[in-house]
Amino acid sequence: MFTTIAALLPLACLAIAAPAGTGCTPTKEAKVARFDDLPYTEGSMNQIPPHYYGLSYFTFQVDQYDHWIPPTSGNQWAMAFGGSGNISIPDSPPKSTFELDSFSYACVSGVPQPECAISVWGWKANGKVIKRKIKFPKLDPAPVEAYVMNKTKFSHEWRDLKSLGFSIARADNGGDMYGGLALDDIAYTITFGCPDS
């Protein structure tokens, strides 16, 4: 009998330590924001609607290909004309976060254009802030086919995010770029959390 009780003791401890079930399991959805399904009117502010593919965009607008640097898919991208912007997950449903996988990007300020440094900040649900700097190459006069967006991937560190922030500057001296930041094919996974029990 002692051996039976001794064998069951670890299981009893696990049962006591486990929280009561809420019946909710967090769900995940992979998304790619391409912006080609959004309306665009030349000469207007073409705001990205709230909760577009599960995220909200602040200072980014829809912009169309103007025969210079093409988007990586379709003919539209998200553009922060001042070079800075924010992307956030809404507060509802509660406890939702996202993991950033990749995006295509370009600094757009004309030709010639100095090398551009793009600072990316990630604000996590636990309050931690992470940062990464990526560069877009210097652009000199060339055939239009030479101008393309770059693509970057993000490590697993870029998970449990509530918000992303972006800003651009000259890579050589940190000065102003006086241009825009274009993003396309933003790939991410949203985790829809469970409410408190």
Read off the pLDDT of residues 87-100 as tens digits, 9 standing for 90 and up.
Answer: 999 987 788 999 99
Q: Domain 26-192 carries which CATH code? A: 2.60.120.1350
Q: What ranges do the domains of the chain cover?
A: 26-192
Q: What is the mean pLDDT of residues 148-177?
A: 95
Task: Count CB-CB contacts under 10 A for residue 130.
Answer: 14
Among 97-101, 132-136, 191-195, which stretch is predicted with the lowest mean pLDDT? 191-195
Q: What is the mean pLDDT of residues 153-158?
A: 98
Long-range contacts of 171-179 (CB under 8 A, 24+ apart): 171/114, 171/115, 171/116, 171/117, 171/135, 172/114, 172/115, 174/117, 177/83, 177/107, 177/109, 177/114, 177/116, 178/83, 178/109, 179/83, 179/107, 179/108, 179/109, 179/110, 179/113, 179/116
* pLDDT at residue number 196: 65
Which of 6-10, 89-93, 139-143 holds the top average pLDDT? 139-143
Residue linked to tokens 């890579």: 171
pTM attached to this predicted model: 0.84
Please check the confidence at residue 55 and state whether its pLDDT lies above 80.
yes
Q: What is the mean pLDDT of residues 73-87?
A: 95
